[in-house]
Amino acid sequence: MQDWATRLKVLWPGVMVATVVAIAAMFLASHYGAPVMLFALLLGMAVNFLSQDRRCVAGIEFTAKQVLRWGVALLGLKITAVQVQAMGWQPVVMVVLAVAATITFGIVMAKLMGFKPFFGLLSGGAVGICGASAAMAIAATFPHHPQRDKATLFTVISVSTLSTVAMVLYPVLARLLGLDAVHAGMFLGGTIHDVAQVVGAGYSMGPATGDAATVVKLMRVAMLVPVLVFAAWMTHRLHAQSHDAATASGQAPPSRPPLLPGFAVVFVLLVVVNSLDTLPRWAVAGGNELSRAFLVGAMAAIGMKTHIKEILSVGWKPAALVVMETTFLAVLFWVLMRWMVV
């Protein structure tokens, strides 16, 4: 009990400042309609001096890492097998192909542009699945690296900005392409990054479009399960290579992480339990809200750990990569629709 009390005393100042920033971000997002993750990031960066305060360091670090994992685990409550089955096999196949191809495209282009494959997986997964939430979930499985938080932040900024632009432009594009209500919803749900922007764009075109967009988007969110497993496998493989290299050189080998992190196991279990329809609605709704709060708080804490000059120092190539991935996804999904559905 004494240990818990001592730990709580150390953590609470940093956790509380992250909480205050998260509440401010949610208030601004609800009033101005911009992505809450982007507000949390920018507000966190505005008070990044707090990460230098010794009273706040431990709590900010705890929120950026552990609270993030709790939020990712609870994302499993957003998905059920019924949602995935609701629109038939064609949208499911389209989503699987689009997400897999976008991530593959991201990894290949990242290597060609001089980045590590992990950045391609991070950006491609964020674009292909569900924007900022996917970026934070995938990054949480990566090995610790000084550039990891910077890469995550840049990806969140990029996909949040592009998602907001897409929310405005893609409904216009859907009309220009002559898509009916359901097919327009499928296009919006299959191409816009963040869930909130999908809902906003879909229902701005009507209830049928909004419903179709939401279901297809949730199918993309469901792809977070295999992608997290793949990201964890890549991390495990990297640690195995480091372990073998250290052993061969006579150095102490680094400890190997589990093949699938604990929070990812909980995520998968919650998907299964939620699909069985055994949880009361209030529990699912509460878990979704708690997940959102945890992720916003974690993003605020990550922002506090980052300086603006670090973001500006990354250059144009990462932004170009995310734009290319976004364009690739939109074109590919339209082609798949023409081929399989329309």
Contacts of 219 (CB under 8 A, 6+ apart): 83, 84, 87, 91, 92, 95, 189
Distance CA 214, CA 182 (A): 11
Give the rounded percent of residues in the chain with a pLDDT score beyond 90.
Answer: 23
- Give the lowest-confidence range in 218-232, 251-265, 296-310: 251-265
* Confidence at residue 311, expressed as pLDDT on a 0 to 100 scale: 61
Mean residue pLDDT of the chain comes to: 82
pLDDT at 43 over 80: yes
Distance CA 130, CA 249 (A): 42
| pLDDT class of 251 with cuts at 50, 70, 90 | low
Contacts of 39 (CB under 8 A, 6+ apart): 24, 25, 26, 28, 29
Domain span holding position 248: 10-340
Residue 207: phi, psi to the nearest 5? -60, -45
Tell the residue number behind the tokens 């974690």, with chain if given. Answer: 298
- Summarize pLDDT for 47-63 with one digit per residue, the tens: 888 888 888 888 998 98
Residue 187: phi, psi to the nearest 5? -65, -45
Asked whether residue 95 is assigned to any structural domain, the reply reads: yes
Q: Does pTM surpass 0.85? A: no
Contacts of 140 (CB under 8 A, 6+ apart): 65, 68, 69, 72, 261, 263
Asked whether residue 2 is assigned to any structural domain, the reply reads: no
Tokens of 11: 């953590």
| pLDDT class of 308 with cuts at 50, 70, 90 | low
Asked whether residue 31 is assigned to any structural domain, the reply reads: yes
Asked whether residue 5 is assigned to any structural domain, the reply reads: no
Q: What is the mean pLDDT of residues 333-339?
A: 90
- Summarize pLDDT for 118-163 with one digit per residue, the tens: 899 999 999 999 888 888 888 888 876 667 777 888 888 888 888 8
Contacts of 294 (CB under 8 A, 6+ apart): 67, 68, 70, 71, 74
pLDDT at 252 over 50: no
Q: What is the mean pLDDT of residues 195-224?
A: 81
Query: What's the structural domain count of the chain?
Result: 1
* DSSP result, 112-132: HTT--HHHHHHHHHHHHTTTH
Asked whether residue 1 is assigned to any structural domain, the reply reads: no
Degrees, nearest 5: CA angle 245-251-255:
75
Tokens of 299: 């993003």
